[in-house]
Amino acid sequence: DVKVTQSSRYLVKRTGEKVFLECVQDMDHENMFWYRQDPGLGLRLIYFSYDVKMKEKGDIPEGYSVSREKKERFSLILESASTNQTSMYLCASSHGGANTEAFFGQGTRLTVV
Amino acid sequence: AQSVTQPDIHITVSEGASLELRCNYSYGATPYLFWYVQSPGQGLQLLLKYFSGDTLVQGIKGFEAEFKRSQSSFNLRKPSVHWSDAAEYFCAVAPFTGGGNKLTFGTGTQLKVEL
């Protein structure tokens, strides 16, 4: 089975802290994604990566950055956490090309106080 | 730009009743379409997907969906709902050209099942 693992289920951070959310996949997928999920808004794409060291902005990249130094790992970075970044963060991965589906991690519930 | 509309925020059905969750999409070409389910506190699980071919697709847990190009719809159905189906359901669209398989999600439909 494909496994996408997010390092933390729950995180509580203070305003202004630098926050790292880690995601690892074990299926040699080319694509990896970070989504943010908020009630009534569904999932919104923050960033995605289609190869090592490659990244593209999604729909809501402001306040976030990403890092992909190895194919299996994709990190989301909040440079200076703010309370409006309190949310559920979901990582996903998929093979490159067409006709593929995305597999999701369990999510990280981040609270910024 | 692609978009997805799920017009029903909440739906309540009785156990054993049939279910239909609505999904309308906006995309300039043939899309890839997906339905995902999310149980409380969990990630998303793929129920079914449409890429091409037969417009009626079967998924896991007894779900099916029908792609109707003329209506830009991809509604999810189940003939008899079980209490364990209570969850949030998301419809999503991805570009046919691949586009890195970037999914655009609807806002979700929360399903409640009454016993």
Q: What is the pLDDT of residue B98?
A: 52
Write down the pLDDT at residue B52.
Answer: 81
DSSP code at position B52: S
Tell me if A3 sits within 8 A of A26, measured CB to CB.
yes
Please report residues of A whose CB lies closer than 8 A to that of B101.
31, 94, 98, 100-102
Which residues on chain B are in Cβ contact (under 8 Å) with A45? 102-104
Residue B29 in this model has a pLDDT that exceeds 80: no
Q: Are B78 and B65 in contact (CB under 8 A)?
A: no
B37 with B51: CB under 8 angstroms? no
Q: What are phi and psi of B54, to 5 degrees?
A: -55, 130
Is pLDDT of A39 > 80? yes
Q: Which of A29, A34, A43, A68 to substitute to test the interface with B, most B CBs within 10 Å?
A: A43
Pair A54, A68: CB distance under 8 Å: yes
Residues of A in contact with B9 (CB under 8 A): 40
Q: In the structure encoding, which two tokens stand for residue A54, read together?
A: 């490659």
Residue A8 pLDDT greater than 60, yes or no: yes
